[in-house]
Amino acid sequence: MPSGTPQPRFVLVRPQMGENIGAAARAMLNFGLDQMHLVAPRDGWPNPSAVAMASGAGRVLDDAQVSETVVGAVEDCSFVFATTARQRGLTKPIYTPERAMEVARERIAKGEKVGVLFGPERAGLENDDIAVANAIISVPVNPEFASLNLAQCVLLTAYEWRRQTVDTVAETVELAGHDWATAIEMEKLAEHYEQRLDEAGFFYPHTKSDGMKVTLRNLWSRLPLTRADVQMLHGVMRQMVRWKERGD
């Protein structure tokens, strides 16, 4: 059974290849969607090729609903999007996938049912199909090569839905079991290097030494170091000093 999570209904209109249906199911489940509807699949339903391509997303196929017409697939939807890359001569609002899924989220949150139509592989949706829709989704693709594979279009739209409904952190760092170095640990590291470099005559000439020390401390403060990093750098300097002393 479908998860019951509020979500748009993805309607594949007259899909021609079972492999693309399976790949679309996989793309949907990748992003938490499982409400697939099929309109007059060319090779009938169920389709063994779709199952093979779904690769673990078989439950989306198991629960897929089949209709003979587009209207039948979205008859209970209050808002329907149609995906197309071509100008159709129809007066309708055109959304990017991102904006479309934002609108879908807003409407679904109010209790509405939203459908998204995806056309067959050969030529996409026909004007009669798009006439059923309230709005168009147009992916900003290369105008010299605008054709998208069915599963690719499903994946793009599903990804934008996921972005609208799940909080994600844009950038994270995997600390691998270590904490960030504290201010006092960074200060001790700076002191260690400053002392040893001073002994080695690095801060020369004397008139520029204060500025060089400030620059070095500023360098340390810009580095995102963990406690393990700090310990290693202390060890590097200690070993360099021991090596120099042995050389003497």
CATH code (residue 103): 3.40.1280.10
Here the tokens at position 32 are: 């938490």
Q: Assess contact for 68 and 49: CB atoms under 8 A.
A: no
Residues 159 and 191 in one domain: no
Q: What is the rounded distance in angstroms from the CA atom of residue 7 to the CA atom of residue 155?
A: 15
Residue-wise pLDDT for 203-237, tens only, equals 999 899 999 999 999 999 999 999 999 999 999 99
Last residue of a domain, one of 165, 197, 227: 165
Share of the chain above pLDDT 70, in %: 97
Contacts of 234 (CB under 8 A, 6+ apart): 189, 192
Q: Specify the 3-state DSSP secondary structure of 177.
A: coil
Can you give the length of the chain in residues? 248
Q: What is the rounded distance in angstroms from the CA atom of residue 12 to the CA atom of residue 151?
A: 10
Whether 59 is in a domain gets the answer yes
Residues 160 and 212 in one domain: no
- Give the per-residue pLDDT at 3: 78
Whether 200 is in a domain gets the answer yes
**Pairing of β 135-137 and β 114-118:** unpaired
Over range 179-195, report the average pLDDT: 94
Residues 102 and 38 in one domain: yes
Residues 188 and 160 in one domain: no
The residue assigned the tokens 């008139």 is 207
Q: Is the model's pLDDT at 87 over the cut of 80?
A: no
Whether 105 is in a domain gets the answer yes
Query: Residue 189 is part of which domain span?
Result: 183-247
Residue-wise pLDDT for 1-48, tens only, equals 677 789 999 999 999 999 999 999 999 999 999 999 999 999 999 999
Here the tokens at position 101 are: 């899924």
Query: What integer best gives the mean pLDDT of the chain?
Result: 92
Here the tokens at position 227 are: 């406690």
- Give the per-residue pLDDT at 184: 95
Residues 87 and 126 in one domain: yes
User: What is the gyration radius of the CA atoms in the chain, in angstroms?
Assistant: 30
Residues 141 and 189 in one domain: no
Number of domains observed in the structure of the chain: 2
Among 243, 246, 241, CA closest to 193: 241
Q: What is the rounded distance in angstroms from the CA atom of residue 226 to the CA atom of residue 220?
A: 12
Residues 21 and 58 in one domain: yes
Residues 161 and 220 in one domain: no
Residues 143 and 217 in one domain: no
Whether 238 is in a domain gets the answer yes
Residue-wise pLDDT for 46-81, tens only, equals 999 999 999 889 999 999 999 999 999 999 999 999
- Give the per-residue pLDDT at 248: 59
Among 231, 219, 220, CA closest to 178: 231
Cross-strand pairs, 13:
39
Band of residue 122 on the pLDDT scale cut at 50, 70, 90: confident
Residues 142 and 207 in one domain: no
Q: Measured between alpha carbons, how far is residue 9 from residues 143, 161, 167 in Å?
A: 28, 11, 21
Whether 156 is in a domain gets the answer yes
Cross-strand pairs, 82:
117, 136
Residues 105 and 208 in one domain: no
Per-position DSSP letters for 19-49, written without gaps between them: HHHHHHHHHHHHTT---EEEES-TT-SS-HH
